[in-house]
C-alpha cells in the first residue's frame, strides 16, 4: 500500500483535520539554514520549525546521534533504566539551577507535568492550595489544562468549560499577581519573554518582583522556558539574565533540535512526587534523549549562547534600521534570536507571503507582528540576506 499524490496541499484539505492555517508550501528537504520545497525552490529558514531546529536542519551531530541510536535501541518504556535518558537528565541538572528532571514528548506535556507537580506541592505543603496564576497573552500548550493556563481568549473560548484552578492576570504587572493571590494559590507560571503571544518582553525587574512575591507567600515559581530556553535568548536559560531562579522550569522546543521532546525540571524542595504519581510510555525514550543529549552538549561545548548574543544584536540592529526606514514598522522587540517586528497595520500575513516569494521564511506570530526565530547557528551572512529580502518586501508594500 502506498500513497502517491500530485497535489499534496489538495490532499491535506481532504484528509487532515482542518486546524492549521498553513502557508502554501510543501517542504521536502532541509540542510543547515535552508529548506527546499517540492518544486526544488530554496528558502532561507528564519522560522526553524518554530524555534525548534536549534542547530539548523539535519546537522551532522544530530543526524549521527539519531541514526546511531535508532540502530541500537529506540524504545524500552520507563520500566527500565536507559543510558541516553540519564545522560541527558544528568547534563540538564549539571547546567541549570534545578535538581531533578522528568522527560516527556512535547511542550504541552512538560507544562502539564509541571502543573501536576504544583498541585501535589499545594496538596502536601500548602494546605490543599491548587490555583495557578498565569498571564494574559501567555502560551502554555494545547491540552485542555494548558489551554486553561494560556491566557488568550481565542484558544479558550471554543473549549469552555475549561478545567478549573487557573487565574489569568495581565503580564508585566506584579500588582495583578498580588491581587490574584489567595490561600488557594499554589504557583505562578510565566514565560520570561512571551513567545506565541507576540514576543513580549517584560520590564527588567518584573521576574525579580514575582520571585520575591512567591518567596514571601511560599508559592512555586514555574518558568515556562519552552521557547526561551536552550540558548534562544543569549543565555542557556532566560532566567539567568534576570538574576533569579525558578522552582520549576519547562523546556522543549530547541532541546531536541527537531525530534519531539519536552521536559520539566524542579528544585529538590519542590519535587514532592512519589513513585506512580506521574509517568509516560514514550517519554524520555533512548532515541529522543540521544538527540537531546547531542544537541544540548553541542550548544554548551560550542558556546552557542554567546554566538546568539552576537548575531542576535546584529539582527536586532538590522531590523531597527528597517524600522527607521519604513513607517509600517512600529518597533523591534525581543532578546537574542527571539525577535519580532511590530507593524502599524495587520499585514503580517501578506509580508510572510512576500518573503516566501523571495525565498525567506518568517512567521506572522500576530496579524501585526513578524517573528524571527532562526536556528541558533545562523551567521551574519544569513542575516544580511534575510534583511535584504525584508527590505525589498517592505519597499514593495510602501
Ligand atoms: C510552544 C510552546 C508550548 C507548547 O509546546 P508544544 O510542544 O507545542 O506542546 C508551551 N509553552 C511555550 C512557552 C511555548 O512556546
Ligand 1: centre distance to CA 60 (Å): 26
For residues 150 and 78, membership in a common domain is answered with yes
Which protein residue has the closest C-alpha to ligand 1 atom 10? 140
304-355 per-position pLDDT tens digit: 999 999 999 999 999 999 999 999 999 999 999 999 999 999 999 999 999 9
Q: Are 345 and 328 in contact (CB under 8 A)?
A: yes
For residues 236 and 292, membership in a common domain is answered with yes
State the Cα–Cα distance between residues 359 and 356, nearest whole angstrom. 5
Residue linked to cell 520545497:
37
For the Cβ of 224 lying below 6 angstroms from any atom of ligand 1, the answer is: yes
Ligand 1: residue of 139, 146, 237 to mutate (most ligand atoms within 8 A of CB) is: 139
- Of 279, 301, 323, the last residue of a domain is 301
For residues 82 and 219, membership in a common domain is answered with yes
Domain count of the fold of the chain: 2
Q: Is 86 exposed, middle or buried (0-12, 13-18, 19+ CB in 10 A)?
A: middle
Considering the domain boundaries, does residue 270 fall inside one? yes
State the Cα–Cα distance between residues 257 and 291, nearest whole angstrom. 7
Please give the pLDDT value at position 16: 97
Ligand 1: centre distance to CA 223 (Å): 12
Q: Write the CB contacts of 225 (distance below 8 Å, at least 6 apart in sequence).
A: 191, 192, 237, 238, 239, 249, 250, 251
State the Cα–Cα distance between residues 370 and 326, nearest whole angstrom. 14
Where do the DSSP E strands lie in the chain?
Answer: 27-31, 34-37, 42-45, 100-104, 131-135, 166-169, 185-190, 220-224, 248-251, 262-266, 329-335, 338-343, 360-361, 363-366, 369-372
Considering the domain boundaries, does residue 289 fall inside one? yes
Q: Are strands 27-31 and 34-37 parallel, antiparallel or unpaired?
A: antiparallel
- Of 261, 280, 301, the last residue of a domain is 301
For the Cβ of 108 lying below 6 angstroms from any atom of ligand 1, the answer is: yes
Please give the pLDDT value at position 272: 98
For residues 165 and 273, membership in a common domain is answered with yes
Considering the domain boundaries, does residue 46 fall inside one? yes
- Of 262, 283, 301, the last residue of a domain is 301
Which protein residue has the closest C-alpha to ligand 1 atom 11? 140
Considering the domain boundaries, does residue 252 fall inside one? yes
For the Cβ of 264 lying below 6 angstroms from any atom of ligand 1, the answer is: no
Please give the pLDDT value at position 174: 98
Provide the β-strand partners of residue 47.
none
Please give the pLDDT value at position 75: 98
Ligand 1: centre distance to CA 261 (Å): 11
> Is the pTM of the predicted complex or chain greater than 0.95?
yes
Ligand 1: centre distance to CA 226 (Å): 6
For the Cβ of 363 lying below 6 angstroms from any atom of ligand 1, the answer is: no
Q: Are 233 and 177 in contact (CB under 8 A)?
A: no
Considering the domain boundaries, does residue 64 fall inside one? no
317: containing domain? 8-59+303-397
Considering the domain boundaries, does residue 93 fall inside one? yes
Provide the β-strand partners of residue 78.
none
User: Domain of 27: which CATH number?
Assistant: 3.90.1150.10
For residues 310 and 342, membership in a common domain is answered with yes
Ligand 1: residue of 226, 230, 371 to mutate (most ligand atoms within 8 A of CB) is: 226
For residues 137 and 230, membership in a common domain is answered with yes
User: Domain of 178: which CATH number?
Assistant: 3.40.640.10
Task: Give me the residues of the chain with pLDDT under 50, please.
Answer: none
For the Cβ of 195 lying below 6 angstroms from any atom of ligand 1, the answer is: yes
Considering the domain boundaries, does residue 142 fall inside one? yes
For residues 115 and 143, membership in a common domain is answered with yes
Ligand 1: residue of 150, 198, 252 to mutate (most ligand atoms within 8 A of CB) is: 252
For residues 139 and 245, membership in a common domain is answered with yes
For the Cβ of 309 lying below 6 angstroms from any atom of ligand 1, the answer is: no
Q: Write the CB contacts of 282 (distance below 8 Å, at least 6 apart in sequence).
A: 75, 105, 288
Please give the pLDDT value at position 397: 87
For residues 28 and 78, membership in a common domain is answered with no
Ligand 1 atom with the shortest distance to the CA of 252:
7
For residues 139 and 259, membership in a common domain is answered with yes
Q: Which of 191, 104, 197 is nearest to 152 (CA)?
A: 197
For residues 282 and 373, membership in a common domain is answered with no
Please give the pLDDT value at position 2: 87
For the Cβ of 226 lying below 6 angstroms from any atom of ligand 1, the answer is: yes
Considering the domain boundaries, does residue 365 fall inside one? yes
Ligand 1: centre distance to CA 335 (Å): 18
Ligand 1: centre distance to CA 139 (Å): 7
Ligand 1 atom with the shortest distance to the CA of 50:
1
Q: Looking at the annotation, which residues are catalytic?
A: 139, 224, 253
Pure H helices in 95-167: 107-125, 144-149, 153-156
For the Cβ of 49 lying below 6 angstroms from any atom of ligand 1, the answer is: no
Please give the pLDDT value at position 172: 98
For residues 314 and 380, membership in a common domain is answered with yes
Question: Could you check whether the bond before residue 193 is cis, i.e. omega within 30 degrees of 0?
Answer: no
CA 84 from centroid of its chain's CA atoms: 23
Ligand 1: centre distance to CA 251 (Å): 9
Amino acid at each position: 500500500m502506498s500513497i502517491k499524490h500530485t497535489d499534496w496541499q489538495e490532499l491535506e484539505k481532504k484528509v487532515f483535520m482542518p486546524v492549521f492555517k498553513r502557508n502554501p508550501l510543501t517542504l521536502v528537504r532541509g540542510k543547515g539554514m535552508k529548506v527546499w520545497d517540492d518544486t526544488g525552490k530554496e528558502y532561507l529558514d528564519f522560522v526553524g520549525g518554530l524555534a525548534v531546529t536549534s542547530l539548523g536542519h539535519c546537522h551532522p551531530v544530530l543526524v549521527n546521534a539519531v541514526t546511531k541510536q535508532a540502530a541500537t535501541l529506540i524504545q524500552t518504556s520507563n520500566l527500565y533504566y536507559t543510558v541516553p535518558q540519564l545522560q541527558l537528565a544528568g547534563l540538564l541538572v549539571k547546567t541549570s539551577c534545578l535538581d531533578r528532571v522528568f522527560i516527556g514528548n512535547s511542550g504541552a506535556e512538560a507544562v502539564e507535568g509541571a502543573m501536576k507537580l504544583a498541585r501535589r506541592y499545594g496538596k502536601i505543603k500548602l494546605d490543599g492550595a491548587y490555583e495557578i496564576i498565569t498571564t494574559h497573552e501567555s502560551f502554555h500548550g494545547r491540552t485542555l489544562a494548558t489551554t486553561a493556563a494560556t491566557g488568550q481568549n481565542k484558544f479558550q473560548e471554543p473549549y469552555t468549560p475549561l478545567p478549573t484552578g487557573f487565574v489569568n492576570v495581565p503580564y508585566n504587572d506584579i500588582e495583578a499577581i498580588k491581587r490574584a493571590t489567595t490561600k488557594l494559590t499554589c504557583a505562578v507560571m510565566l514565560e520570561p519573554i512571551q513567545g506565541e503571544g507576540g514576543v513580549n518582553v517584560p520590564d527588567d525587574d518584573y521576574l525579580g518582583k514575582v520571585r520575591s512575591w512567591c518567596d514571601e507567600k511560599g508559592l512555586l515559581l514555574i518558568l515556562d522556558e519552552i521557547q526561551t530556553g536552550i540558548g534562544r535568548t543569549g543565555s542557556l536559560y532566560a532566567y539567568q539574565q534576570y538574576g533569579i531562579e525558578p522552582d520549576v522550569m519547562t523546556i522543549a522546543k530547541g532541546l531536541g533540535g527537531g525530534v519531539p521532546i519536552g521536559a520539566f525540571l524542579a528544585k529538590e524542595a519542590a519535587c514532592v512526587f512519589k513513585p506512580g504519581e506521574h509517568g509516560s510510555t514514550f517519554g524520555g525514550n533512548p532515541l529522543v534523549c540521544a538527540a537531546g543529549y547531542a544537541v544540548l552538549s553541542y550548544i554548551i561545548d560550542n558556546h552557542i549562547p554567546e554566538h546568539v548574543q552576537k548575531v542576535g544584536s546584529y539582527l536586532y540592529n538590522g531590523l531597527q534600521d528597517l524600522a527607521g526606514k519604513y513607517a509600517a514598522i512600529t518597533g523591534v522587540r525581543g532578546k537574542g534570536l527571539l525577535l519580532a517586528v511590530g507593524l502599524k497595520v495587520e499585514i503580517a500575513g501578506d509580508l510572510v507571503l512576500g518573503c516566501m516569494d523571495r525565498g525567506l521564511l518568517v512567521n506572522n506570530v500576530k496579524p501585526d507582528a513578524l517573528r524571527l526565530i532562526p536556528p541558533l547557528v545562523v551567521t551574519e551572512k544569513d542575516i544580511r540576506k534575510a534583511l535584504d529580502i525584508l527590505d525589498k518586501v517592505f519597499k514593495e508594500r510602501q
